[in-house]
Amino acid sequence: MTNEEIYGSFFLGTSEFALSVRSIQEVVNPPGRYTAVPLGPPYLVGLFNLRGTIVPVIHLRKLLGLAAGGGTDGDSGKIVIVEFDAFCVGLLFDRTGEIFRAEPETKSVFEYAPGTKSVVEGAFKLEDGRRIVQVLSPSRLLELDSVPREALEAKSKDRRAAGKRSRGLRKQCISFVVGDARCALPIESIQEIIKVDRVTESSLSSDYCIGTIDLRGSVVPVVDFASLLGYRTADRDESATRGDRRIIVMRFESEFFGFLVDSVENIVSFFREELVSFPAIGNRRSELFLGCICRDSGGEILLLNHGTLLSNDELREITRGHSAIYHAKASRTDQGAKGARKTYVTFRIEDLFAVEISQIREIIEYPKTLLHPPGMPAHCRGMLNLRGDLVTIIDSRSVYRMTAWEEGSTKVLIFKQDETRYGLIVDSVEAIRTFSESDKIRVPDILYKSGPGSVGEDVKEAMQVRSEGEGDATLMILDPAAVYARVSVKAA
């Protein structure tokens, strides 16, 4: 009885490599796009979604230190999907070779010094030594993973068990762009998201910290998130906070910190079992990632663990022992005197509006395709199938008889009224703000209730809110229930 094993071979330039076919799941072409992984090693091309499995792709030429040649990059060549235990990794080669059989004893096994990590476990000498085929080890490839396999296995089991139970509560996160990556943070971890003109230089600044902002009496250090994640050196230019950039304010124990991101995208809803784990190949901050949220239309989003964004050493470096300066002073912000704090999403429909964040199910891009049932009223753009739920998309400018707006930059706020879901098209989403009653300066009704059919009829109240760095902002608090009642009457 033969002990021959079957191998598949692949090329990087003129160098030939082999893998046991038992570990090869399939060979695919490179995807159209990859999801960038913050703090990933140079040989990690990125992640892609292979029919629901998140696969990290390794640029094998870079991993092995081979000279550039053959033109292999993330957009060309072939990706070999290697499966070991319950996990997959993709290896980027120039081209495929052949299938061959070999007996294990004909393989020369390489020995390495203790502590040396190499993904090449040995080699075959074929055709009387004229052909050398290096053999790759799937287990050693996954040893590049800095997430313990036990932890990934536990997550995998938890996810399978969760699939057998009820879906449970839907969770929400805020997605944003930082460097080349699309990331998200759980919504409950975010205090607010603000836009400021500039940050104040501070003598306490560190490698990542670019200065401070004054947030209603609290001095908040601002960290350049892209610098923290290794995408660039800290941007200390005066224009660093301008354009689409926003500051996400979070609280770590008794301290407030601001994280400068390149843009804020959407509020994304997901169920826990939809969160897909992936091997954090060679990532020195693997605990940073809770998993990946997959969206058919919008690509993959990396969900971050906010508690691990800053290590204790980094916190101490940023504050440098001056915690009293940055402390979120409870004595100065007596909640009994100031009243309950509420968080709002601010957006524009020509003017600046806001709704309580708890009233919004999620925020999405304007859909590329909509269903158009016959007989829909003029203010309804169509119906959207949102993960099995039909959502009526409402043109807010049509409802309030405003000039039409270009669709390219619009967002859709998803609400649920009774058992009906509807989406309200807005010009743009501006920020997430938290303030208390004492922060408000009420605006008389006569200044915004301009007549029958106007948007003012659906406004609960209007106010001026103190906004550091931008001057006072006038907000009109929209009542989603009133909007729903209006469009329901129009549709009747």
Q: How far apart are CA 120 and CA 82, in angstroms?
A: 14
What is the reported pLDDT for 375? 80
Stronger pLDDT, 126 or 144, i.e. the higher one? 126
Nearest CA to 396 among 422, 421, 370, 420? 422
Instruction: Return contacts of 230-238, CB within 8 angstroms, 24+ apart.
Output: 230/38, 230/39, 230/179, 231/38, 231/178, 231/179, 231/180, 231/181, 232/179, 234/207, 234/208, 234/209, 234/210, 235/210, 235/260, 236/201, 236/210, 236/211, 238/198
* Residue 300, Cβ density class (10 Å: 0-12 exposed, 13-18 middle, ≥19 buried): buried
Report which secondary-structure segment, H or E, holds 317. Answer: helix 312-319
Nearest CA to 310 among 232, 233, 255? 255
Q: How far apart are CA 335 and CA 283, in angstroms?
A: 41
Given CATH 3.30.70.3270, say whether it is the number of domain 5-144: no
363-388 b/e (C-beta count within 10 Å ≥ 16 → b): bbebbeeeeeeeeeeebbbbbbebee
| DSSP annotation of 51 | T
pLDDT band, very low/low/confident/very high, at 144 (cuts 50, 70, 90): low
pLDDT band, very low/low/confident/very high, at 244 (cuts 50, 70, 90): confident
- Mean pLDDT score of the chain, rounded to an integer? 78
Q: Where are the alpha helices (DSSP H) in 134-191?
A: 138-142, 149-164
Residue 162, pLDDT > 60, answer: no
Q: What is the pTM of this model?
A: 0.67
The C-alpha torsion from 203 through 204 and 210 to 211, rounded to 10°, is -70
CB-based contact 35:45 (threshold 8 Å) = no
Residue 30, pLDDT > 60, answer: yes
What is the reported pLDDT for 168? 59
Predicted confidence (pLDDT) per residue in 333-377, tens digit:
444 445 567 888 999 988 889 999 989 999 998 888 888 888 888
CB-based contact 348:425 (threshold 8 Å) = no
pLDDT band, very low/low/confident/very high, at 147 (cuts 50, 70, 90): very low
Residue 446, pLDDT > 60, answer: no
How confident is the model over 148-167, as a mean pLDDT?
A: 47
Residue 118, pLDDT > 60, answer: yes
Q: How far apart are CA 46 and CA 36, in angstroms?
A: 5
Predicted confidence (pLDDT) per residue in 92-116, tens digit:
999 888 888 888 778 888 877 776 6
- Report which residue type is found at 453: G
Q: How far apart are CA 477 and CA 354, in angstroms?
A: 5
What is the DSSP pairing of strand 420-426 with strand 389-395?
parallel
Superfamily of domain 337-491: CheA-289, Domain 4 (2.40.50.180)
CB-based contact 57:66 (threshold 8 Å) = no
pLDDT band, very low/low/confident/very high, at 392 (cuts 50, 70, 90): very high
- Among 101-115, 261-275, 389-403, the minimum mean pLDDT is found in 101-115
CB-based contact 458:479 (threshold 8 Å) = yes
Reduced 3-state DSSP string for 70-132: CCCCCCCCEEEEEEECCEEEEEEECEEEEEEEECHHHEEECCCCCCCCCCEEEEEEECCCCEE
Distances (CA, A) of 175 to 161, 193, 230, 252, 293: 27, 12, 19, 20, 10
What is the reported pLDDT for 70? 54
- Residue range(s) occupied by CATH 2.40.50.180 in the chain: 5-144, 171-333, 337-491
Portion of the chain with pLDDT greater than 70, in percent? 76
What is the reported pLDDT for 260? 93
Predicted confidence (pLDDT) per residue in 468-477, tens digit:
545 566 788 8
- Among 110-114, 391-395, 431-435, the minimum mean pLDDT is found in 110-114
Q: How far apart are CA 19 and CA 477, in angstroms?
A: 61
Predicted confidence (pLDDT) per residue in 169-192, tens digit:
678 888 899 988 889 998 888 888
**DSSP states along 319-350:** HTT-HHHHB--TTTT-HHHH--EEEEEEEEES
CB atoms within 10 A of CB 442: 10
Q: How far apart are CA 428 and CA 475, in angstroms?
A: 14
Q: Which fold has domain 171-333?
A: OB fold (Dihydrolipoamide Acetyltransferase, E2P) (2.40.50)
How confident is the model over 251-257, as a mean pLDDT?
A: 80
What is the reported pLDDT for 322? 47
- Residues paired with 16 in a beta bridge: 11, 133
- Report which residue type is found at 84: F
Distances (CA, A) of 227 to 140, 224, 262, 425: 31, 5, 11, 34
